[in-house]
Amino acid sequence: MQQRDAVGALTVLAEDERLFRDSVYEFADRTIRPLVREMDEQAHIPASLIKELFDLGVMSITVPEAHGGAGASFFHATVAIEALSRVDPSIAVLVDVQNTLVANALARWGSDDMQSRYLPRLATSTVGAYALSEAGSGSDAFALATRATETSDGYRIEGRKLWITNGNEADVFIVFATVNPDAGYRGITAFLVDRGMPGFTVGKKEDKLGIRASSTCELLFDNCLVSKAQVLGEVGKGYKVAIETLNEGRIGIGAQMVGLAQGALDHAIHYVKERKQFGKAIADFQAVQFQIARAATEIESARLMVYNAARLRDSGATFLKEAAMCKLFSSEIAERVTSLAVNLYGGYGFVKDYPVEKLYRDAKIGQIYEGTSNLQLQTIAKHVLG
């Protein structure tokens, strides 16, 4: 019954949610849009923009009010990510990781002491990152080799992480390492590690196809000592932190893909009304109208799937299948709609002077990070087949 009630509340946004989404989009349109091309070319987010995101409050949507955040719902984070992605998915994923992964994990599994030390920082000025992936541990997330050896002072971490979003901007990292390789996934433990700790280095920044302003970095741990007070949750329960947080994070990626696709469609609609061929705007041709209509329908379908998963999560209902479905479908729609936008722009769609080329590049990552499309299909099949 709980799940049915949640689904029944989907079709419209509450007034406060709509106003919040629109205000975030207005900020993005006004403040972020003029910087998009430069950020993409330089593969860098200005520190001044990150400060504005904190000032706006979107970096602390899910941080409890007691620790200086908005204390808002996961759904509010979802619509903010969607709104930002219409303008620049790179900025959206910065906000996404901060809320759906880092702050969310701390609020759920952090001790009172850990929350009091870290959540106020995440609410006001500190970017967080989530470090799980390794060279041999991608889709097989728990095949990680990073080792945490217990000492009288705490744990010494040795290893290397790859593909870590926010790596260049973050000052606090949730790092997964195994304390007992023989125990398999039951040996995995999550730690809070601060930038600048001896033995911890942020390494190479990847030169990427899309979402280039968002940093993706390797992390190096060489005899990095952390205290026992830095364990997030319980020793040996890091797999639970990772699985449950990433299940929720997939909804955020779904929202990113929906916003991205909507942004591309917005550009395409504007262009086809202005572009003339054979004496009239190409928007007057039925073939173009039908392509736009299908894209709008697919985006709306993906949006409702994302909203459904977020509502279910907030209601406490089961949402794993719905999260996998919304990420899978939204990422496919994003690639399809951005490709259509490039096609409708014609030759202009293939050059960097126009915005759809970038969104087309940005869309590809949706089928890869926070669980590939094949992993989403595996999750869906498991639930459907029972």
Closest CA to 97 of 112, 81, 116, 76: 81
Closest CA to 304 of 377, 250, 374, 254: 254
Q: Which long-range contacts (CB under 8 A, 24 or more apart) does 21-29 make?
A: 21/79, 21/80, 21/82, 21/83, 22/83, 24/56, 24/58, 24/79, 24/80, 24/83, 24/84, 25/83, 25/84, 25/86, 25/87, 27/56, 28/83, 28/84, 28/86, 28/87, 28/88, 28/91, 29/87
127 phi and psi angles, rounded to 5 deg: -85, 140
Closest CA to 100 of 348, 326, 293, 279: 326
Q: Decide if 298 is catalytic.
A: no
Distance, in Å, from the CA atom of 130 to the CA atom of 295, rounded to the nearest integer, reads 33
**Helical segments of 86-132, H only:** 89-96, 104-109, 112-124
Choosing from 248, 298, 332, 370, which is the catalytic residue? Answer: 370
Other CB atoms within a 10 A radius of the CB of residue 61 amount to 28
In angstroms, the Cα distances linking 228 to 80, 161, 196, 271 are 35, 21, 18, 57
Distance, in Å, from the CA atom of 96 to the CA atom of 250, rounded to the nearest integer, reads 10
In angstroms, the Cα distances linking 29 to 24, 36, 189, 279 are 9, 10, 41, 32
Tally the C-alpha atoms within 13 A of residue 88's C-alpha that lie toward its C-beta: 27
Closest CA to 162 of 115, 130, 119, 194: 130
62 phi and psi angles, rounded to 5 deg: -95, 0
**Sign (positive or negative) of CA dihedral 101, 145, 216, 339:** negative
Q: Which residue has the tokens 């911890």?
A: 200
Active site amino acids: 370
